[in-house]
Amino acid sequence: MRAVVLPRHGTHDVLRVEERPDPQPGPGEVRIKVEAAGLNFADLMARIGMYPDAPKVPSVLGYEVAGTVDSVGPGVDAVSPGARVAAGTKFGGFAELAVAEIAHTVPIPESMSMADAAAIPLNYATAYAALVIMGGVRQGDRVLIHSAGGGVGIAATQLAHHFGAFVIGSASASKHTRVRQEGADETIDHYSQDVAAEVRRLTGGEGVDIILDALGPATLRRDWRILRPGGRVIAFGASQVRTGDRRNLPAALRMVATFPFSTMPWWKAHGMMNENKGVFGLNLFHWWEQAGSLERLVAPLRSLVESGVVRPVVDSTFPFERAADAHRRLESGASVGKVVLTPR
């Protein structure tokens, strides 16, 4: 099979399309003929050597795919070859064939394109974990979503709106129209506006119940200050740590060094009980490793896909041979929704 291979850490241009052995499905697994694969921030970090959970190079990255089931492993009877699915793959997704656990597959309706389907598994699983399981979102909650125009941001905006929350999306001004179309009630330009001041204005000075923050660490102190009593921040990313298209250890270390001074628990541990607020950390890969499965997150998505609540947004698609351009697009910060790779 053909695959996008990361032979060594470096800039976008180190990526190569090579022939690799076909993977074989094990017990409880399916093999998928990949028609589209989603690109994630983790893939960018892995490429420059700053994602510790990534496989050792040379490797095939790619967390999520969409396609048709090609074959099934022992014990799989829930799907048959030919079924249209999206799935989380725990890397190995940027290839013509990928293996996934049956529990991590989502049936895809005929009306949905494979490129759209590739935007489902990790974006929506992350958004569901943050909003529902950790955030406990309820009707009437006020939710602030940072990076609301990104893949997870779009997913979270749709889900928060579905559950009846008042949604504030923080994104660059060029993305505001789309963010509102996906369910945001209000938008903030985090480049030109004071986010904290705008949140206070929009909420009558009360603040918000839930904040989804993929930026960190510098924004977490501000997040804390604009939480209502009972509020919670879910920190699931650290895009501020990225320093460009290559590994820059001095700059990265300076940013990482700010975490103890920006995050929990030491600077507020003594006051958390009195302030009635909390901070959650979310790392989907570690959840996957520790729980042994993402079924708790993926299962609810099946009905949400069927009902049309999940409406994936694809920014752009690139063939495997243009994987470097796909990385550039995601890294630019200009994308709205998902950047997708396709075999051809």
Looking at residue 215, its pLDDT comes to 79
Nearest to 340 by CA among 90, 19, 40: 40
CB 234 within 8 A of CB 205: no
To 10 degrees, the CA torsion angle through 76, 106, 40, 166? -150
- Helix H or strand E encompassing 42: helix 41-47
| Rounded Cα gap, residues 165 and 170, in angstroms | 15
| Rounded Cα gap, residues 79 and 102, in angstroms | 8
To 10 degrees, the CA torsion angle through 268, 272, 278, 283? 50
| Cα R_g (the chain), whole angstroms | 20
Beta-carbon contacts of residue 255 (< 8 Å; ≥ 6 apart): 217, 238, 240, 241, 243
CB 315 within 8 A of CB 329: yes
Place of tokens 């990385």: 327
| 10-residue averages of pLDDT along the chain (344 residues) | 97 96 97 98 91 93 97 94 95 97 94 96 96 97 96 97 98 96 97 96 98 82 93 79 49 49 53 80 90 92 95 97 97 94 97
Looking at residue 261, its pLDDT comes to 47
DSSP string spanning 296-323?
HHHHHHHHHHHTT-----EEEEEEGGGH
Residue 139: half-sphere exposure toward Cβ, Cα within 13 Å: 1
- Domains (ranges, CATH) in the chain? 2-120+312-342 (3.90.180.10), 123-285 (3.40.50.720)
Query: How crowded is residue 289: how many other Cβ atoms within 10 Å of its Cβ?
Result: 11
Q: How far is CA 180 from CA 122, 153, 218, 276, 319, in A?
A: 22, 12, 26, 31, 30
Q: Tell me 246's DSSP state.
A: S
| Rounded Cα gap, residues 29 and 229, in angstroms | 44
DSSP string spanning 83-152?
-EEEEE-SS--SBSEEEEEGGGEEE--TTS-HHHHTTSHHHHHHHHIIIIIIT---TT-EEEEETTTBHH
Looking at residue 243, its pLDDT comes to 46
Strands (DSSP E) contained in 20-63 are 29-39
To 10 degrees, the CA torsion angle through 181, 110, 309, 41? -70
What is the widest separation between alpha-carbon atoms in the chain? 59
Q: How far is CA 7 from CA 10, 49, 94, in A?
A: 9, 12, 14
